Amino acid sequence: MLSRSLSRHGFRVDAVSVAAEALVRAKDTTYDGAVLDLVMPGHDGAMLATTLREKTPGLPVALLTGYAHSPLLTDVLRSGVAVFTKPVAIQEIVDFLNEQIA
């Protein structure tokens, strides 16, 4: 649903379901931004966000979570990743990406 919504707003979306696949794709592709879930199979989204930002400093990353007070968020918040608590309005993510990518 998120992929379709972002596509409708003009974003090119490269969706994956596991963090390991995202890391493989990020080796060969430069992205303008990333939208991740905190809870992902294999790796947590916070670790993926940190890894992606190490590869591309300043990469806009939106991290979605239903766990607003998760200890996993402490380090990722310090790194400048934006955290959105579910349920989140798609427009909030669109606005974030537009502001960061512009």
Residue-wise pLDDT for 3-47, tens only, equals: 999 999 999 999 998 989 999 999 888 899 999 998 888 778 888
Residue 40: predicted pLDDT:
83
Enumerate the domain spans of the chain.
Answer: 2-101
Q: Return the axis-axis angle of helices 45-55 and 19-28, rounded to nearest 10°.
A: 10
In the chain, beta strands by DSSP E: 34-37, 61-65, 82-85
pLDDT at 62 over 90: yes
Element (H, E) at 18: none
Q: How many helices (H) and strands (E) does the chain have?
A: 5, 3
Tell me the average pLDDT across 60-66: 92
Question: pTM for this one?
Answer: 0.88
pLDDT band at 95 (very low <50, low <70, confident <90, very high): very high
61 bridge partner residues? 34
Domain 2-101: CATH superfamily is Response regulator (3.40.50.2300)
24 bridge partner residues? none
Residue-wise pLDDT for 68-93, tens only, equals: 777 778 777 777 889 999 999 999 99
pLDDT at 50 over 90: no
